[in-house]
Amino acid sequence: MSLVMRQVIIDDAEGITNVLNPIILEGLYTVLDTIFTVEEEKEFIAQFPERGVFTVAVRAEGSKVIGFQNVEPFASYTKVFDHVGIIGTFVCSSCRGQGVSKQLFESTFAVAKLKGYEKLFAYVRSDNDRALAAYIKQGFEVVGIAKKHAKVAGKYIDEILIEKFL
């Protein structure tokens, strides 16, 4: 599959919701529990932090968004965390296992370094083995477990804390 990795534009909002909303509805791979409208996603993109990194994976033919990854500053209330970003990764179910996340990581890491990030941090649901494996493959290390950190459909789920130094 031939892909283009680039930074997000407002016109990607519908494609992003087409990737994200089915993942949310599955209730298996994210702690997000409310779907997003295209208008809400447009607003999110418009308000995305200037220092943020928002990479989209687009099919070369047809320009369909099939995955995305974003990095947001860890905290805005102090500058001592300016070198740390929080990363999230989403790939449409029909494209998983085809190297999309690998290409997203490569692009995101490059842009994150240019924007001054030295470390990326993520929370991964403990029952999401596939995501954890993808992050570990990219050099992330487990640094802890937040017990009963999420409560999804009445069930507690631990979250695994991971980090990678760029």
Q: Would you state the pLDDT for residue 74? A: 96
Question: Which class for 60: exposed (0-12), middle (13-18), buried (19 or more C-beta within 10 A)?
Answer: exposed
What pLDDT score does 93 carry? 87
Rounded Cα distance between 142 and 12, Å, is 32
At 144, the amino acid letter reads: G
The pLDDT of residue 63 is: 85
For residue 102, give the H/E element and its range.
helix 100-114
- Residue 26: its pLDDT value, please? 87
* Cα 163 → chain centroid: 14
Length, in residues, of the chain: 166
**Residues in the chain, pLDDT under 50:** none
Q: Which domains does the chain have, with CATH numbers?
A: 3-165 (3.40.630.30)
Full-model pTM: 0.93
